[in-house]
Amino acid sequence: MNKLPDIKTNFPEWYQEVIYQAKLADHAPVRGCIVIRPYGNAIWENIKKVLDDRIKETGHENAIFPLFIPQSFLSKEAEHVEGFAPELAVVTHAGGKELEEPLVVRPTSETMIHHMFAQWIVSWRDLPLKINQWANVVRWEKRPRAFLRTTEFFWQEGHTAHATKQEAQEETLMMLDEYVKLAQNYLAIPVIKGRKTKHEQFPGAEATYTFEAFLMDGKALQMGTSHLLSQSFAHAFEMKFQDQEGNLSYPYLTSWGTTTRLVGALVGSHGDDRGLILPPKIAPIQLVIVPIIKKDTRDVVLNYVQTLAAELKKSGISVRVDADESQTPGAKFYEWELKGVPLRFEIGARDIASNVVVAVSRLGKEKETVSTENLTSWVHTKLDTIQEELFQIAQQRYAQMWHKTERLADFALKLESDNGIYQVGWCQDHDCEKQLKQYAASIRCMIESKDLGTCFGCGKTSLGDVIVGRSY
């Protein structure tokens, strides 16, 4: 195992290295793709479980639509096909023959799902229709980066149809809020939510909402989006329903998705020079127990830690005992810190005799001696504390890099040197937005605040604040 690159001075290298060293993922022999290894997949499964429960509790049902989309489907919505055409992977041959119509490997499923919706929606009684799909999608990626941008990635895509625009708007914002709760309460990542500019919205949408994280290098990451598609796709796919008055109407549509990129957001939000730091609510292993084994007390210690682990597991804590006798305790500490396990116990014969365990939080270095009386409830409380601390540390980081500022000239150089979060006013003219390009920056989203009076670009009256930053 090599030392990790310095996280402060070389974050991009640190990011890649920690992913491979902690065995979250490996390079795949296909351009732009990764192999998600068991430890990385366990994080993704935990995220999926939390989100899937919420998707179901908010009244959606899961379904599965085909991987392949006839090329003609994508062309039905003009903006949509233009937006995705350069990223498509195309199947031209199958079953030993050239296909009459090529099939596109889905980059997203609006066109396929709307084709089906058009058949399922007949009357107002069929609305709202609220469907979600967990799937793999493919977008040919020029500059791949593990979890953040990969040619194949994994996501959920929700697709809903409603009788009124207001209902569709409420759905769009409700799911955005579910995403924000997932990010903040489970991933311990503070996010900035808002609306994308016209120029940045989803091809074919009326409005796109986003939630954005700022990673440890001060660059923004779009963690997911929720779109008010309104009626454009309904028109394109001739999706009509008979309303309560007997008239034919087009439903209002939404779609929303988040991806394996969330694993990348976790990695880039919480680590340090020792490796990952995983929030307890998502960590595949919440507590690792390292028995301190000496020859004469070996069996006593091993039995003790197994019994203790079983007891803690029963209360719902995810525990791993690392009893590998070919490794030193020091090597184990190193490995489990690299892997970001939030809490560690070190237990030797003397601790057992004194009814204590030695506990080390992944956030600190100091060892704590803890009585085994009420140990289960101590662990639960400690994990909650670590979860909370992680979120606070990230919030403090945001506070330090968050600048309210007036004109582009005032912050352009700082943006170039330090990245960071720049809250500015905007006149909503694309010409001003475009100026950010030369600094490799963009408007991440339009937020609800209106603290700044003038546009960062032209100096005219601002119509509302926006967040500017560089991004992944």
- Whole-number Å distance between alpha carbons of 37 and 230: 39
- State the nearest-atom distance from the C-beta of 66 to its own copies, in Å: 4
Q: What is the largest CA-CA distance in the chain?
A: 85
3-state secondary structure of 112: helix
The DSSP secondary structure of 26-62, one letter per residue, reads EE-SSTT-EEE-HHHHHHHHHHHHHHHHHHHHTT-EE
- Whole-number Å distance between alpha carbons of 446 and 210: 9
Please report whether residue 53 would count as binding its own copies according to CB under 8 A: no
> Which residue number, 34 or 408, has a Cβ lying nearer to its own copies?
34
Residue from 43, 47, 81, 105 in contact with its own copies (CB under 8 A): 105
Strands 402-404 and 421-426, by their bridges, are: parallel
The DSSP secondary structure of 415-437, one letter per residue, reads HHHH--EEEEEE---HHHHHGGG
Please report whether residue 92 would count as binding its own copies according to CB under 8 A: yes
Please report whether residue 94 would count as binding its own copies according to CB under 8 A: yes
Please report whether residue 173 would count as binding its own copies according to CB under 8 A: no
Strands 61-62 and 248-249, by their bridges, are: unpaired
Please report whether residue 427 would count as binding its own copies according to CB under 8 A: no
- State the nearest-atom distance from the C-beta of 72 to its own copies, in Å: 10
Please report whether residue 310 would count as binding its own copies according to CB under 8 A: no
Please report whether residue 59 would count as binding its own copies according to CB under 8 A: no
- Whole-number Å distance between alpha carbons of 419 and 50: 32
Please report whether residue 398 would count as binding its own copies according to CB under 8 A: no
> Which residue number, 55 or 386, has a Cβ lying nearer to its own copies?
55
Please report whether residue 122 would count as binding its own copies according to CB under 8 A: no
As a residue count, the chain comes to 472
Please report whether residue 65 would count as binding its own copies according to CB under 8 A: yes
How far apart, in Å, are the Cα atoms of 124 and each of 120, 248, 251? 11, 10, 9
> Which residue number, 37 or 403, has a Cβ lying nearer to its own copies?
37
Please report whether residue 244 would count as binding its own copies according to CB under 8 A: no
- Whole-number Å distance between alpha carbons of 217 and 22: 20
Q: Which one of the spans 136-144, 176-184, 272-280, 362-370 is the region binding its own copies (CB under 8 A)? A: 136-144
Please report whether residue 131 would count as binding its own copies according to CB under 8 A: yes
Task: Quote the crossing angle between the two packed helices 165-181 and 38-57, to the nearest 10°.
Answer: 140
- Whole-number Å distance between alpha carbons of 262 and 19: 13
Please report whether residue 327 would count as binding its own copies according to CB under 8 A: no
Q: Which one of the spans 80-88, 159-167, 168-176, 441-449 is the region binding its own copies (CB under 8 A)? A: 80-88
Residues near 346 by Cβ (< 8 Å), separated by ≥ 6?
290, 292, 329, 357, 358, 360, 367
Which tokens sit at 63?
A: 């379904």
Residues touching its own copies, count (CB under 8 A): 55
Distance separating the N- and C-terminal Cα atoms of the chain: 28
- State the nearest-atom distance from the C-beta of 457 to its own copies, in Å: 33
> Which residue number, 66 or 453, has a Cβ lying nearer to its own copies?
66
Please report whether residue 416 would count as binding its own copies according to CB under 8 A: no
- State the nearest-atom distance from the C-beta of 228 to its own copies, in Å: 23
Footprint on residues 186-215 left by its own copies (CB under 8 A): none
Please report whether residue 116 would count as binding its own copies according to CB under 8 A: yes
Chain positions contacting its own copies, by CB under 8 A: 26, 28-30, 33-38, 41-42, 44-45, 61-70, 73, 85-96, 102-103, 105, 112, 115-116, 119-120, 125, 131, 135-136, 138, 140, 142, 152, 154, 326
